[in-house]
Amino acid sequence: QLGLNLVKDHPEAYLSRSIAVVEELKPFALAGNDIEYANLLWSVGKECRTQKAYAKALKFHTISLSYSDQLPANYIGLMESNYFLEDYRAAYHYSKELIRLHYPSEKRAYEIAIDCALKSNMEGDAIAMMKIYLEKWESAYYQRLIPKEYAF
């Protein structure tokens, strides 16, 4: 990690070295049961997102999931990568995991999922989530978005 910190001021070099570290450690990783390796993959995916390389980020976040599904931040990475690649249905799929995990908070997870559902043209899902949201928190914006025939 110290070596990686030395190149952090140079994002391309940092990403390149991070990928090399992931490859070096891969033979020692345990698929399906290695949260440390999953976390390392997640951090590479996060750096890719920072550099707006969303397709590459999605690759690392997807691989991370295959090593551990117990890393809540990885679901943000999967959702965000898909979102910026305009695969809103996939983004919505992962946003539902955020709700299940209450990550990064329950409120924020619902806001993310509602946005993904709306972008996916899944109006029924979006309305159902907005209703749940409004039972817990106030939002004039969501109240306006719910069609009158679906209002409380």
Distance CA 113, CA 108 (A): 9
CB atoms within 10 A of CB 114: 26
One-letter amino acid identity for 82?
Answer: N
For the chain, report the end-to-end CA distance as a whole number of angstroms.
53
Task: Going residue by residue through the chain, which has 152 residues, state the pLDDT in tens, using 9 for 90 and above.
Answer: 555 555 567 888 889 999 999 999 999 999 999 999 999 999 999 999 999 999 999 999 999 999 999 999 999 999 999 999 999 999 999 999 999 999 999 999 999 999 999 999 999 999 999 999 999 999 999 999 998 776 66
Q: Which pair of tokens denotes residue 97?
A: 């995991």
Q: What is the pLDDT of residue 3?
A: 56
- What pLDDT was estimated at residue 50? 95
Q: Which two tokens stand for residue 118?
A: 């709306």
pTM summary value: 0.88
Helix (H) or strand (E) segment spanning residue 130: helix 123-136
Distance of CA 69 to the CA centre of its chain: 12
pLDDT for 7 equals: 58
Best CA proximity match to 77, nearest among 64, 96, 89: 64
Distances (CA, A) of 108 to 9, 60, 103, 104, 137: 31, 24, 7, 6, 11
> What's the burial of 140, exposed, middle or buried (CB within 10 Å: 0-12/13-18/19+)?
exposed
